[in-house]
Amino acid sequence: MRAELLARAEAILEAWVQARGEAPTREAVETFRLLALHRQGARGVPSFNACRETCREIAYHYNLLATRQDEKTQRMMEMLVRHLELFVRGKMEVEGLGDFCCASRPVRQQSGLEERTDG
């Protein structure tokens, strides 16, 4: 089950990377491809770091489940993966991604409203 959950988390980040027009990495960070995918997905998008610790917790729970097969730890891992999915879904739905979670800077850049301090 832990492998399925980890694969699901990787698929979520793959979707994010692909939506940005890149090929998902096959590399790993600290032995986890999930962490490498997160690093790739956050490149140039600082707001995506809001899910960095969620990814690290998924990796941590994956390791925990290798040593103890208890229901509570598995449920927590499921919730972490669900949180990642909700977060990424939100980011993909609201395509105005910016400096931090709610920033709509790129949308404003497109509409010519950006950088008005020089005037």
Partner 1 sequence: MSKYQRVAYYPGCALEGTGHAYNSSTKAVGKALGLELDEVKDWNCCGAMEVKNVDPKVQTYLSSRVMSIAANEMKASVVMAPCNGCYHNLKKAEYDLANDAASRETVDRISKKAGHETYQAGSLETIHALDWIKEGIGEEELKRRLKNSLKGLKVANYYGCMYTRPRHIFPEKDQGQGSESTSQPHFMDDLLAAAGAENVDFPLKTACCGGAHTLSDSDISTRLVLNILEAAEAAGADVIATECPTCHSGLEMHQVRAEKVLGRKTTVKMLYFTQLLGVALGIGPRKLGIHENVSDGMEALNKVL
Q: Which region among 7-15, 21-29, 30-38, 104-112 touches partner 1 (by CB under 8 A)?
A: 104-112
From 22, 63, 69, 100, residue interacting with partner 1 (rule: CB under 8 A): 100
DSSP 112: T
DSSP 58: H
Does 87 interact with partner 1 (rule: CB under 8 A)?
A: yes
CA distance 17 to 25: 9
CA distance 117 to 7: 46
Q: Which residues bind partner 1 (CB under 8 A)?
A: 46, 49-54, 56-57, 60-61, 72, 75-76, 79-80, 82-83, 86-87, 89-90, 93-94, 96, 98-105, 108, 113-117
